[in-house]
Amino acid sequence: MDRQLFPKELNGKSADEKIKYFKNLTIAHPKLMAAFKGFKEKISVADNNEILLVFGPSGVGKSTLFNKIITYYNELYMEEMLMDKGLIPIVGEEAVAPDDGRFDWKDFYIRALTSLNEPLINYKINIDANKGLIPSEKGKSAYRRAMENALVYRKPIAFLIDEAQHISRISKGKSLRNQMDTLKSLASKSRVPFVLFGTYEILKFRNLSGQLIRRGIDIHLPRYKLEIKEDRDAFQSVLWTFQRHLPFYEEPKLVENWEYFYIHSIGCIGNLKIWLNRTVEYSLMDNYHKKTLDLNDFKKFEMSVDKIEKMADETIEMEKQIAEEKVCEIKERISRKLGWGINQYEENSLTSKPYKTKIKVGERKPNRDQIGIEEFKNEKTNL
């Protein structure tokens, strides 16, 4: 019991409170923190009209990173917001999956305007009617102009779009470039960098034109790989931390079966957390007095082997393509240093194969727990 990390008073709380506690738990694991650090570094040097990509496999934790970034910048700019009631330091909105196979830009603009206006309703800020947040016209272009104006006045450092792969969902192949042109135009008019969070599917935007997205400023949030020792250790450490936060009287033995949890999450922490959340919720609602969890409890909610294989195949294929791209970038840098073939690799990048279509997923509140890899290693030696 002493090793458990959840608050002791939680033992006397209701099942709903225990479930809420665990669902809100996020772990500041190494790959998440590396991506978070990378975002802070790259957004600080991004041009005002730049488009950045944050990508990774489905279920890796991109939505958790998305929320962490928004929380961080809202806290960082708290004093400035108190002085400037119109300031919104950072804006985030989800690109909702289309119902009819074509991304709905009007719906996106309306949702974005809600995100930009909502925190300021109580301040009743007066804005010139011609440049107001909510347009009188009902056309898509009117909502777009309102969004551009709102971004100018709210002065965010960036506009984040979660599940951005949905923007690529179109009914006509020729309009994929139009989708990217729309985003570029929004960034250019508002002078605000746009950051797309999504699966590997969003990488096809990068291949449309070398001028749309600057390579090297992207952020890759990868899974933990079984063949890399540091990744194995980190995954086990994350699992160990979750194990100690599970709100049961006796600590379940997750780490003893870490290979099982790795395989059924393919090394993605988002997949792992959703799986644990479902198991905890079902187990506590089914039997509030349940003392602990065993492997059979988790097997009820594990991903099927067919789905695991499909996700693994898609992820590994994309990882190979990204690795090949990095080799090309290194060769391009070398050719530039030697003063030869300056345009050769740029031309190759524009005619490279498009990325294959992929899939989607995963999230707690601002409080995050460091996972303590060294502490975990010491604990392992005593088991």
The reported pTM is 0.81
Which two three-digit tokens encode residue 347? 């031309």
How many C-beta atoms surround the C-beta of residue 210 within 10 A? 14
| Rounded Cα–Cα distance for residues 285 and 16 (Å) | 8
- Residues sharing a CB contact under 8 Å with residue 142, sequence separation 6 or more, in sequence order: 135, 136
Cα angle 116-121-124, degrees, rounded to a multiple of 5: 115
| Rounded Cα–Cα distance for residues 185 and 83 (Å) | 31
Average pLDDT by stretches of 10, the chain with 383 residues: 78 94 96 97 90 96 97 96 93 91 89 75 38 57 90 94 90 72 92 95 77 70 97 98 96 97 98 98 96 97 96 95 80 77 50 45 48 62 55
Sign of CA dihedral 5, 6, 7, 12: negative
| Rounded Cα–Cα distance for residues 240 and 287 (Å) | 24
Angle between helical axes of 269-286 and 62-76 (0-180°, round to 10): 90
Beta strand segments in 107-154, E: none
Per-residue pLDDT, 338 = 83
Instruction: Tell which residue, 85, 160, 82, has the closest CA to residue 127.
Output: 85
Please give the C-alpha separations between residue 308 and each of 101, 247, 299, 335, in angstroms, as whole numbers.
26, 28, 14, 41
Sign of CA dihedral 233, 239, 240, 245: positive
Which two three-digit tokens encode residue 28? 């500041």
Sign of CA dihedral 287, 290, 292, 294: negative
- Bridge partners (DSSP) of residue 52 are 195
Please give the C-alpha separations between residue 288 and each of 117, 122, 208, 276, in angstroms, as whole numbers.
42, 42, 54, 16
| First vs last C-alpha separation in the chain | 15
Per-residue pLDDT, 150 = 92
Specify the length of the chain in residues: 383
Per-residue pLDDT, 353 = 47
Per-residue pLDDT, 118 = 45
Which two three-digit tokens encode residue 272? 């792992």
Place of tokens 């792969």: 165
Phi, psi of 375 (to 5 degrees): -60, -40
Domains of the chain (ranges; CATH) run 8-25+224-303+364-382 (no CATH), 30-220 (3.40.50.300)
Place of tokens 């996106």: 108
Amino acid at 299: K
| Rounded Cα–Cα distance for residues 6 and 3 (Å) | 9
